[in-house]
Amino acid sequence: MSHVNTIAKARLLAPLTLLVALAACSGKDETAPAAPATPAATPAAAPVAAPAVSAKVQSMGTEELRDLASKALRENRMYAPAGDNAIEYYLALRDKTPDDASVKSALTDLLPYTLIAAEQSLSREDFAESQRLVALIEKVDATAPALPRLKQGITGGMQTALKRTQEETDKVKKDAENRTKQLADQQRQAQQQATEAEAARAIAAQQDAARRDGERQDAERQAATRREAEQRQQAAAAQQAAAARQAAAPAAAAPSLRPVSTPAPRYPAEALRSGTSGEVLVEITVGTDGSVTNARVLRATPSRVFDREALNAVKRWKFEPVGAPVTTRRTLAFAPGG
């Protein structure tokens, strides 16, 4: 009797609950769609269909099934969870008592809820749940009008999800390839920059070495120039010192010469007529007998006017004999009326 009352109550509640569920389903297009749940399994391949009624439920006895079915109805477990819901219990009862009209009626009442649940699981791409519910619907009524559409929806949805998954996989793969390519490009650029920097450092080092070598060569040339200048200065100083010593030698030896005869030079007639005056510096060498053995003009002012007469005069000079030849200098002056 309690089982009949439970079924009767379920029949009274079923139309109202079904209207609410259908209203919720029909209104889903007018509101923002809920985010689809993550599929329970990757739709790469259709999951293996499990029996509509679990083996555990099928193994139960009739009275246990009736009690569990009533309890599931009271707790609103009409089609879920799998293995512990009213529709599975009633399907197992129908297999055991195929002539029980109350069981058939209960399954008829539960069928709309299962249909709605299948639609909802399909919309959120929970294909495993959709297939389980479709298997329950098909076992309740293999000619249910909604079955072809639900099966087609599962197949199409799985194909769409598979395509989307493949596209996402391709996108991830492409992104990874792009990142790998970018990384390789960055590495090549870094290597090229390092190579260019190394080449620039090598060029800078070569330029610096060339600059230092040039500076060294310039310093060496300057040092050589300074040495040459110093050598020239030293040579000039040595020449000057030698000339000074040579000039000083006659002067020192001159006092040792004692003139015996130093006739004055003849005044050139032309210079005398023109009133030209001048002087001639001569260098003479006196032999040991006191005669002049050599004479030459060192300087004459004006040139080539009094040179000849000056040489002719000094060559006639006589000095007292000396122990060794003596070289000395004498200046002969020419002045009209002198």
Q: What is the pLDDT of residue 336?
A: 84
Q: What is the pLDDT of residue 12?
A: 38
Nearest to 47 by CA among 149, 141, 161: 161
Q: What is the pLDDT of residue 48?
A: 53
pTM (two decimals): 0.45
Per-residue pLDDT of the chain (338 residues; tens, 9 = 90+): 444 444 444 443 443 343 333 333 333 333 333 334 444 444 444 445 678 999 999 999 999 999 999 999 999 999 999 999 999 999 999 999 999 999 999 999 999 999 999 999 999 999 999 999 999 999 999 999 999 999 999 999 999 999 998 999 999 999 989 898 998 889 899 789 978 978 779 777 788 877 888 788 877 888 777 887 787 777 666 666 544 455 444 444 445 899 999 999 999 999 999 999 999 999 999 999 999 999 999 999 999 999 999 999 999 999 999 999 999 999 999 998 76
The DSSP line for 120-143 is HHHHTT-HHHHHHHHHHHHHH-TT
> Domain 257-334 has what CATH class?
alpha beta
Please state whether 337 falls in left (phi above 0), alpha (psi between -120 and 50) or beta.
Answer: left
248 CA to centre of own chain: 83
Q: What is the pLDDT of residue 241?
A: 54
The letter for the amino acid at 28 is: K
In the chain, domain spans: 2-144, 257-334
Q: Taking the chain, what is the end-to-end CA distance rounded to the nearest angstrom? A: 188
